[in-house]
Amino acid sequence: MALSTIPFSGLGADASNQGVNFRNLLINGDMSIAQRATSVSSITSGGYKTLDRFNIDINSAGTWTMSQSTTVPSGQGFATSLKMDCTTADASLSASDYLIVRTLLEGQNLQQLKFGTSSAESLTLSFWVRSNKTGTYAVWFYADVGNKSFSKTYTIDSADTWEKKTITINGDTASSFSNNNSIGLRINWYLAAGTTYTSGTLPTDWQTDSNGDRAVGQVNLADSTSNEWYITGVQLEVGTSASDFEFIPHDVQLQRCYRYYEKIGTNGEVYKPIGVGVKVNTDHTYTNIFFRTIKRTNNPTFSFSNLVSTDRQSTDADCTDIDAAYTDSHGVHVRFSHSAYGAARDAALITGDPSTTPSYFIADAEL
């Protein structure tokens, strides 16, 4: 039989799951990319800490270390997981206290869900999770347009054991996602929640968000420094069933993460290239930095560490400030301040400091 005549069903269920078709609406669900850091301790405030595309929101719910862990479910193909480790406990949460791990999706990547129409598609979230603390945990789905939300719970049945969880929610026929690069959907895994967020009733459909309905039954993972929580293999897909996790090549995953955050430079590289520039006077260099992936927005936030303006003849002048930047989603024309050397209109390179690490330039366009 010619290959072209073999029916797809003849390939078998496993084979049908091997193709990459980007059915996973989430990025970095296998927790493989951690550009910022692989471990951050003493966390008491929110933000992106380690793993790309996954951040923390916290309000007075203990102190935590967030890390990229190599503890993974056996035989599933994962190499890394996200780990939350409680280092200072809060056994008695105030009403408004909470801890959330979350990921955000652009509205333009959710249009196929047909939300806001009678054909709105169901969504299925699946993930592997592990904790020493058994009990009920909540996942709160929040859509910015219309201030709509839907919460469901899952149960960790056995301590210190990887378990696969699947949560299906129906589509919202009333509210749509904005078709643009702003936040469409927030997926929030609660790890701790005060009574402000637990005092209501779990919704059975999309509803106007109500604080008390977000995390009904949620255990307090912050109640002991012995507590830890792992998650990996996170997949969100259209429909009512969970397929096998869609592994994509590392370079593809990294490129997808670059859209939101790109760290140019690595530790320990001498004269890591950042940009070719020209000095506008003795103590300022303009340079162009081209992004490896088009950014989500035209106005990313920038930061840098241990860069120099250098003539590669006699002087490496430490960059101390960014005075100005002209940017779009493709790159940035940036003006660095540094100590004076040479003359105006001299060519100059912006590179990593040859003697001090880490050296990098960051463009951050995260949601």
Q: Which residues bind another protein (CB under 8 A)?
A: 45, 182, 280-281, 284, 297, 299-303, 321-325, 327, 335, 364, 366-367
Nearer to another protein, 104 or 113 (CB): 104
Length of the chain: 367
Contact assessment for residue 332 and residue 325, using Cβ atoms and an 8 Å cutoff: yes
Helices (H), 31-124: none
- Give me 210's structure tokens: 């109500």
Nearer to another protein, 210 or 337 (CB): 337
Nearer to another protein, 230 or 304 (CB): 304
Which residues have CB under 8 Å from 131's CB, separation 6+? 156, 159, 160, 221, 227, 228, 229, 230
- Least Å distance between CB 366 and another protein? 7
Which residues have CB under 8 Å from 256's CB, separation 6+? 27, 28, 293
- Least Å distance between CB 254 and another protein? 22
Nearer to another protein, 200 or 358 (CB): 358
Nearer to another protein, 129 or 317 (CB): 317
**Spatial distance between the Cα atoms of 259 and 30, rounded to a whole number of angstroms:** 17
Q: Strands, E, within 111-170: which ranges?
A: 123-131, 135-143, 148-156, 163-169
- Least Å distance between CB 227 and another protein? 25
Q: Which residues pair with 276 in a beta bridge?
A: 288, 349
- Give me 237's structure tokens: 């897909």
- Least Å distance between CB 334 and another protein? 9
- Give me 114's structure tokens: 């047909």
- Least Å distance between CB 6 and another protein? 49
- Least Å distance between CB 335 and another protein? 6
Nearer to another protein, 42 or 92 (CB): 42
